[in-house]
Amino acid sequence: MNIPSDWQKRTILVVGIICVSLAAIFVRLSQREINEVTVGFSLFIAAGRLIISTLLLIPSYGDLWTIKKNHSSGVYYGLGAGICLGLHFATWISSLGFTSVAASVSLVTTNPLWVALLSWWCLGQKLTRKTIIGIAIAVLGSVLIAFAHGGNNFSSNPLLGAILALMGSWFASGYILLGTLAQQKGLTTKQYVIIAYFTGALCLLPLPPLFGTSYGGHSLNIYIYLILMAIISQIIGHTSLNWSLKYFSPTTISLLILFEPVISSLFAWWFFQEIPQLLVVIGALILLLGVTYSIKKKL
């Protein structure tokens, strides 16, 4: 097996972060195609992203037959990661219907804090004083973002948007932890993403119709944005990050993902002239400071 060089590892990780950062832009482009953003439509975007990604991976499904029996625990971790992935997209994409790109993405990338708390709660790992201080700082930033008044048509309920984005971060934490365990238990990156993406798509598949949104009848542009989101943000972006978990620690990747709000906000300003409110900017800076402070000793 060819081992990638350090520059190849770093390049793939950076490309993955940029591609993931574009997801919020594709969601916002889709939202601008309709008169009113509903929960059903947000779930349609979330489900569509994973369904298309799963279909694009069909040529690789044969790799599942090569999973060894002693790697079955990796399959279970992959299934759990897929459920978390589906719930992550359902909550986070829904948050973009109620708050700005800057606020939503800043909150959804707080997963390093929740990974630390989960490790303390589930694995008995000690919370350091630095981690506790960092969490307190980040919570202050989150509160400022949550109560910032909206400055655009998609900031109708910033508090609800903040709650949904935070929930998305919790599920993303489970996705990262379980994905790491799945690959440590013997699954290849390709086997893992097939299982995780398929499971996530299956979980979300029935939800849009239940919330009054069908899979058909939308504008051509919306389907184009879904395909672009599936290829760029999911197949290239998420798969690159999953691959990187073999060479970088989850903490390192989580810290680098903190660049996502910056990149997404710049794209939102460029495409939509969506300038975040001053309170959102201040809150985001405080939040990112808290997250970085709490985990930088682990790098």
* pLDDT of 86 strictly over 90: yes
Residues of the chain with pLDDT > 70, as a percent, come to: 93
**Strand ranges inside 41-96, DSSP E:** none
d(CA 176, CA 247): 14
The b/e string for 200-236 (b: 16+ C-beta within 10 A; e otherwise) is bbbbbbebbeeeebeeeebeeebeebbbbbbebbbbb
Where do the structural domains in the chain lie, given as residue ranges? 7-298
Radius of gyration of the chain (CA): 18
Contacts of 47 (CB under 8 A, 6+ apart): 201, 204, 205, 207, 208
What is the pLDDT at residue 251? Answer: 67
Q: 125 with 277: CB under 8 angstroms?
A: no
What is the pLDDT at residue 2? Answer: 73
* pLDDT of 147 strictly over 80: no
Q: 103 with 161: CB under 8 angstroms?
A: yes
**Per-residue pLDDT tens over the stretch 56-82:** 999 988 888 888 777 788 899 999 999
What is the pLDDT at residue 296? Answer: 63
pTM reported for the whole predicted model:
0.85
Report the range out of 109-118, 231-240, 270-279 with the highest average pLDDT: 231-240
First and final C-alpha spacing in the chain: 27
Q: 265 with 92: CB under 8 angstroms?
A: no
d(CA 195, CA 265): 31
d(CA 48, CA 236): 16
What is the pLDDT at residue 21? Answer: 92
What is the pLDDT at residue 151? Answer: 54
d(CA 268, CA 263): 9
- Which residue in the block uniquely carries the two structure tokens 């008169």? 35
Alpha carbon 253 to its chain's center:
12
Report the range out of 145-159, 168-182, 285-299 with the highest average pLDDT: 168-182
d(CA 194, CA 213): 26
d(CA 76, CA 200): 13
Please, what is the average pLDDT of the chain?
Answer: 86
User: Structure tokens of 165?
Assistant: 């984005």
Residue 150, φ and ψ in degrees, nearest 5:
-70, 150
What is the pLDDT at residue 149? Answer: 57
Question: Letter for the amino acid at 291?
Answer: V
Give the model's confidence band at 47: pLDDT under 50 very low, under 70 low, under 90 confident, else very high.
very high
**Per-residue pLDDT tens over the stretch 216-251:** 999 999 999 999 999 999 999 988 998 888 888 776
* pLDDT of 150 strictly over 70: no
User: Structure tokens of 79?
Assistant: 């299934």
What is the pLDDT at residue 125? Answer: 67
DSSP at 207: H
DSSP at 100: -
What is the pLDDT at residue 278? Answer: 83
